[in-house]
Amino acid sequence: MKRNIKNEALKITGGQFKSWYRTLTSEDLKEYHYLLSNSRDQKKPFLKRPLVKLVFSLSIILSAIPSIYQDLTYGHDGTWTHYGMIAVGGLYLVESILWIMDVWDDR
């Protein structure tokens, strides 16, 4: 009769493990190691971590703000004919926000 390694392993407490582990055959050991490798939490990839996404999001969104501020404050070549540049900065900000929303979407 085949042993149910998963149920046996879950019932073991502290000092019993060593003696239980010695009773396993080579096939049981393979099954036990396979069970261990598949039951562990897999590490999240670097770019899927929330902190990395947050830093990326802030850097993208904040990079659009200086160009908008500069257009509002200084104008373009000393004149106030820079409203097109303000629109470009605003569109860049909207594009950045949409990009960030796509990055945070974990489908």
Domain edges within the chain: 5-39, 46-104
pLDDT of residue 99: 83
pLDDT truncated to tens, each residue of the chain (107 aa)? 677 777 777 777 777 877 777 888 888 888 888 887 776 666 777 777 888 888 888 888 787 777 777 777 776 665 655 666 777 778 888 888 888 888 877 75
First to last CA, the chain: 43
- Number of Cβ atoms within 10 Å of the Cβ of 71: 20
The whole-number pLDDT of residue 45 equals 76
Structure token pair of residue 55:
């830093």
Which contiguous run of DSSP H or E holds residue 43? none
> Quick one: which H or E segment has residue 57?
helix 50-74
Q: Which of 60, 64, 68 is nearest to 84 (CA)?
A: 68
